[in-house]
């Protein structure tokens, strides 16, 4: 099976060096902005012990402020393996039927939900009801209604809801956002986001509408949606979209293979994006304004991210994304730190509103207003 995550890893490892004469030098001392201060440790239980959970767990071994203290899985053998590998006591291990008991476990502060998309909503509600903070993989749900209910449930319970937007803490991404805010590109006019790969095993959950809530758009198109928002620095107000399906057997009704979509923003800027399960090597962001541009390719893979502007190369030092993400999320939950690019539940909900509008535009063939 060739998953999105395997694709992202291979793409970034195999990315060639793009010739560029100049080497950009970031402003002195700016790296201090993202330093996580010493302090208490966030004790995390991982829910869903698949391939990405393994990646997160490995990355967390380098964290100073986030530690794996529990696991939740429907597969007993996985729990046993994780207990041995990460020295997790039996009292901190749960299955999907009994994990509500984390309410009485002081060893767990937060639960990181890394399960199929359609399970995020009910699992988030249960974790919130147990009084634990929620970290949820993207997409946060399968539609905006569910996303809103997740936000409200966590607010009612007095716990944080954070979404696994690892790119919001990545150095090159943050530098491009900083340059845009500083006016280095002038008035922003256009963004392009390309996200895609050829998906493998036709029986996997990502091609099951009931579990995934869709196809490529939910899985990888969300990178271009979210990227358009933080790169342009505005929320889109309308969308048009077109779907192409070449294999209706593999991509059944409700499971999109390829969708191209266009977004309009209040300033007049526009975005043109592609989400596909049919073409590999698509991982590119391009932002251009009246005074310059920024390009990233790979733009959302596991790294290193390759980036440059009209002034030269960026290519800031690579740190494992999941390590940085969990360190920063610990600071958000424990210290009240405010990230430069939000990762809260409302941020995730906005992406779901846009995805709902994209699907509506595909169905109607018309421009759809995006209503938050």
From 94, 112, 165, 223, active-site residue: 223
Return the biggest CA–CA distance within the chain.
59
Question: What DSSP string describes 12-78?
Answer: HHHPPPPP-S-B--PPTTGGGGGPPPS-PPEEEEEE--SHHHHHHHHHHTT-SSEEEEEEE-S-HHH
> Which are the contacts of 148, defined by CB distance < 8 A and separation ≥ 6?
349
138 included as an active-site residue = yes
Distance CA(18)–CA(5), nearest Å, equals: 23
Distance CA(5)–CA(76), nearest Å, equals: 24
From 138, 284, 306, 350, active-site residue: 138
Edge to edge, the sheet with strand 307-309 lists: 312-313, 307-309, 293-296, 282-289, 188-196, 270-276, 258-264, 238-244, 368-369
User: What are the backbone angles phi and psi of residue 352, rounded to the nearest 5°?
Assistant: -70, -35
3-state secondary structure (DSSP) of residue 259: strand
Contact yes or no for 142/118 (Cβ under 8 A): yes
Distance CA(122)–CA(4), nearest Å, equals: 24
Sign of CA dihedral 176, 181, 182, 188: positive
End-to-end CA distance of the chain: 37
337 included as an active-site residue = no
3-state secondary structure (DSSP) of residue 232: helix
User: What are the backbone angles phi and psi of residue 213, rounded to the nearest 5°?
Assistant: 80, 10
Strands 307-309 and 110-113: unpaired
Distance CA(59)–CA(326), nearest Å, equals: 9
Distance CA(47)–CA(17), nearest Å, equals: 37
Structure tokens at 301: 């893979």
> Which are the contacts of 77, defined by CB distance < 8 A and separation ≥ 6?
none
Residues known to be catalytic = 138, 223
């Amino acid at each position: 099976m060739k998953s999105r995550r395997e694709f992202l890893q291979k793409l970034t490892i195999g990315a060639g060096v793009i010739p560029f004469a100049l080497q950009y030098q970031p402003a002195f001392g700016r790296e201090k902005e993202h330093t996580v201060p010493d302090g208490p440790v966030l004790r995390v239980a991982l829910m869903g012990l698949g391939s990405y959970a393994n990646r997160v767990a490995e990355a967390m071994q380098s964290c100073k402020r986030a530690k794996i203290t529990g696991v939740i899985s429907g597969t007993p053998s996985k729990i046993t393996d994780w207990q041995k590998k990460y020295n997790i006591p039996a009292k901190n291990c749960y299955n999907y039927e009994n994990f509500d008991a984390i309410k009485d476990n002081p060893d767990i502060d937060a639960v990181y939900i890394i399960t199929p998309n359609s399970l995020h909503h009910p699992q988030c509600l249960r974790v919130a009801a147990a009084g634990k903070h929620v970290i949820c993989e993207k997409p946060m749900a399968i539609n905006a209604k569910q996303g809103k209910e997740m936000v409200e449930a966590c607010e009612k319970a007095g716990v944080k809801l954070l979404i696994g937007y690892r790119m919001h803490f990545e150095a090159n991404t943050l530098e491009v956002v900083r340059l845009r805010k500083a006016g280095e590109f002038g008035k922003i006019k256009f963004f392009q986001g390309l996200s895609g790969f050829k998906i493998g095993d036709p029986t996997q959950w990502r091609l099951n509408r009931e579990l995934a809530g869709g196809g490529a758009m939910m899985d990888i198109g969300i990178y271009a949606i979210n990227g358009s928002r933080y790169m342009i620095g505005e929320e889109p107000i309308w969308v048009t979209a077109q779907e192409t399906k070449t294999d209706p057997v593999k991509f059944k009704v409700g499971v999109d293979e390829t969708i191209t979509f266009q977004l309009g923003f209040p300033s007049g800027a526009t975005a043109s994006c592609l989400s596909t399960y049919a073409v590999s090597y698509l991982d590119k962001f391009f932002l251009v304004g009246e005074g310059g541009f920024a390009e990233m390719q790979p733009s959302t893979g596991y790294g290193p991210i390759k980036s440059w502007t009209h002034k030269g190369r960026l290519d800031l030092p690579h740190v494992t994304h999941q390590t940085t993400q969990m360190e920063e999320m610990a600071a958000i939950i424990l210290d009240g730190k405010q990230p430069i690019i939000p990762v809260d539940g409302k941020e995730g909900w906005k992406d779901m509103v846009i995805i709902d509008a994209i699907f509506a535009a595909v169905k109607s063939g018309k421009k759809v207003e995006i209503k938050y």
